[in-house]
Amino acid sequence: MVIMVIEISDFMSRVEASQYTIFTQKFHSSVAKTVQKYEGEIEKRDNNNYVVFFKDITNAVQCALDVRYKFKYVTPKHKSFSRKLNIALVKSETHSEKELIKCRRYCEVIKDQLVITSGVKIAYQKINSHAEIDKSLIRILKPKEEAFINAFMDYLEMNWQNVELGVHHFTKALHITYGQLFWRLTRLTGVTPRKFIKNFRLHKGMLLLHRQRVGISEVSHRIGFKSATHFSDSFLKTYGIRPSKYLQQHT
């Protein structure tokens, strides 16, 4: 079995309502038809995410490539539209929640648009012995890369609310040097460890503002920022809008 996660989440992308509706309709129609074509089973979906299961490894990989190819034809050509497609595939023996969590992580944090694990690669090439996976289109994670990113994310998700959390905590927990942490994480995600941790916290803050209508000071405290001012300035620098203004827009 292969688990596929498709994600186009980007809360900060704002376009005109009619364009957003048209894009959403076209995207969902395209994905639904493509998944059906390759005999996939849609387990979950919303406006921004899909979880799909496949029994056939070849169908899973070809479906991912097809969804990726068609995305550009349903994406509005609009200067304020910045949504990006990300897809990840993981091989699993069952409908494993643990493997689904890993698949979501690869989809969300790996910088490449289409990511597969080494297990998917091996299973695919075993059946398609004469077919080569195009590495210009597909990022194949090595087992060591999978282990690293999951260890890093496990630790981050357990400790991100700690105001004192720093890069040195990760090097100690993962038993690696700062240079190794910097090189591995930057190569996989495209950002430095400090930037990654900060972005993770800001994203958590954005979700709190978006879903729970929590005040700025409380949000900054919850996500591990030392002050509301620091949080507000960082939010503005990252997303181009003050959290107070963002909160007003979603009240």
Per residue in 50-102, pLDDT tens? Answer: 999 999 999 999 999 999 999 888 766 655 555 689 999 999 988 889 999 99
Token readout for 209 is 């503002």
Best-predicted range by mean pLDDT (171-175, 230-234, 235-239): 171-175
Residue extent(s) of CATH 3.30.70.1230 domains in the chain: 2-141
CATH of 2-141, one of 1.20.120.80, 3.10.20.30, 3.40.640.10, 3.30.70.1230: 3.30.70.1230
Residues forming a β-bridge with 45: 50
* Whether CATH 1.10.10.60 fits 148-249: yes
What is the rounded CA–CA span in Å between residue 166 and residue 172? 11
Name the nearest CA neighbour of 104 among 143, 74, 138, 149. Answer: 149
Question: Which pair of structure tokens corresponds to residue 155?
Answer: 């630790």
Half-sphere exposure of 5 (CA within 13 A, CB side): 22
Tokens in use for 228? 């509301």
DSSP code string of 152-181: HHHHHHHHTT-TT--HHHHHHHHT--HHHH
**What local confidence, expressed as pLDDT, does residue 68 receive?**
94
Q: pLDDT > 70: what percent of the chain?
A: 90
pLDDT at 198 over 80: yes
Distance CA 205, CA 218 (A): 10
Report the candidate in 236, 242, 244, 238 with the shortest Cα–Cα distance to residue 198: 238
Residue ranges, comma separated, of all CATH 1.10.10.60 domains in the chain are: 148-249
On whether the pTM is more than 0.85, the answer is yes
Q: Specify which residues 6 forms β-bridges with.
A: 50, 87
**Is residue 248 a contact partner of residue 218, using CB atoms and an 8 Å limit?**
no
**Cα separation, 122 vs 87, whole angstroms:** 18
Average pLDDT for 206-227: 84
CA distances from 62 to 112, 127, 128, 129 (A): 17, 13, 12, 15
Using the predicted structure, report yes or no on whether residue 16 has a pLDDT greater than 60.
no
